[in-house]
Copies of this chain bind each other. A is one copy, B any other.
Amino acid sequence: MAHAQYDVLALGNAIVDVIARTEDDFLLAHNLEKGSMRLIGEPEAETLYKAMGPAHIVSGGSAANTAVGVASLGARAAFIGKVKDDEVGHLFTHDIRAAGVGFDSSPALGGPATARSFILVTPDGERTMNTYLGACQNLTVLDIDEAQIAASSIVYLEGYLWDPPAAKDAFRKAAAAAHKHGRKVALTLSDSFCVDRWRDEFIDLIRTGTIDILFANEHELRALYVAARTEDAIEALRAENGLLAVITRSEQGSVVVTREETLAVPVFPINELIDTTGAGDLFAAGFMAGLAQDKSYRDCARLGALAAAEIIQHLGARPEKDLAALAAENGLA
């Protein structure tokens, strides 16, 4: 197998986050389910933005956040996703490149605006996301370059790609190309509501061996197997052939599950929980950066926990500290 140019090539929705702190009352008044990600159209996006408080605007997007985390940990990352050639699209492009991630997807010249997620952060640090997909709907198989896939050790795909119809085909093309060239395919389940929408297809991706590595939090995992208890869902997971699964359990840490073993790894301590947005994305970044450095699963999960701990202590889902330096300080270099 040829030497890889990238450790991780992430494929996902290219989104800019509009983040406002809010009280729980606002969620109730606007009928928003705390902790969820909900898709909204342009008129609703305008209404919600008008009603919400002053905002921080920071690049986001689940898989894009992961790519930035991988790069911040000193591994090599690239991202594929669709923005429009507008101000918000320029901002996304600037930020991901400035973070050291390869990003060459051509922007859409027409059609809907660059995607925005209106994120409401309650005093408990929980985030509730309302996403206008916009230009993400223009991501197609034409955006997948087989040579780039072939040059990437892991192709990382977000479950959210199941929402814009054409992206699903891009996802399948990327996964097939990765396996053709002896590369690994990873999937994050993204969100329990997303799993509810696409359960059968996600199960099918696992059963057919389309994916090799699965990232999920316990809500998503329980939604996948329609299980009341996380333990039961983990049992179901263990029965999947040849899968490496990593389950995050908020303050209870993470569990690495393979047919052979189940390994529990604790969280890193934090000073203050500010905003949980991106916790799962950065956990996946840490884990995959660990894989790129041939670390043990335990150390991969510790790197994931370290990156997640950084991200939840400030607004926004892109790291604000040099994660490689943070890893070195914590004996994980």
1/0 per residue A49-76: CB within 8 Å of B?
1101111111100000000100000000
Interface: A32 (CB within 8 A): no
A294 to chain B, nearest CB (A): 28
Given contacts A21-B320, A49-B94, A94-B49, contact A56 B58 (CB under 8 A): yes
* B88 contacts A56, C-beta separation under 8 Å: no
Asked if A99 and B54 sit within 8 Å, CB to CB, the answer is yes
Contact count band on A? 20 to 34
In the complex, what residue of chain B is closest to A91 when comparing beta carbons? B57
A95 at the interface (CB under 8 A from B): yes
Q: How far is the CA of A96 from the CA of B55 in the complex (A)?
A: 10
Which residues of chain A from 29 to 63 have any CB-CB distance to chain B below 8 Å in the complex? 49-50, 52-59
Residues in B neighbouring A20, C-beta threshold 8 A: 98
A127 within 8 A of B: no
Kindly list chain B residues whose C-beta atoms are within 8 Å of the C-beta of A21. Answer: 320
Q: Is the CB of B55 within 8 A of A95?
A: yes
Question: Which residues of the other chain, B, contact A88 by a CB distance below 8 angstroms?
Answer: 87
Interface centre among A54, A94, A98, A315, by most B CB within 10 Å?
A54
Question: Is A316 part of the binding interface, using a Cβ–Cβ cutoff of 8 Å?
Answer: yes
Q: How far is the CB of A153 from chain B (nearest CB, A)?
A: 24
| Interface: A219 (CB within 8 A) | no
CB of A299 to closest CB in B, whole Å: 27
- The residue of chain B having its C-beta at the shortest distance from the C-beta of A18 within the complex is B91
Task: Verify if A318 is at the interface (C-beta below 8 Å from B).
Answer: yes
What's the least CB distance linking A318 to chain B, in Å? 6
Complex interface: chain B residues within 8 A of A50 (CB): 94
Do A54 and B87 form a contact, CB below 8 Å, given A49-B94, A94-B49? no
Complex CA gap A53/B95 in Å reads: 7
Residue of B nearest to A320 (CB): B21
A290 to B21, CA, bound (A): 25
The reply to whether B53 and A99 form a contact with Cβ atoms under 8 Å apart is: yes
Assembled-state Cα–Cα distance A52/B99 (Å): 10
Chain B residues within an 8 Å CB radius of A55: 58, 91, 94-95, 98
Question: Are A98 and B316 also in contact (CB < 8 A) when A87-B87, A87-B88, A88-B87 are?
Answer: no
Q: Which residues of B contact A57 (CB under 8 A)?
A: 56-58, 91
7 closest A-B pairs by beta carbon, nearest first, are A57-B57, A54-B95, A87-B87, A53-B98, A54-B98, A54-B99, A56-B56
- Given contacts A54-B94, A55-B94, A57-B58, list 16 more A-B pairs with CB under 8 A: A52-B98, A53-B98, A54-B59, A54-B68, A54-B98, A55-B58, A55-B91, A55-B95, A56-B56, A56-B58, A57-B57, A86-B87, A87-B88, A314-B314, A314-B315, A315-B315
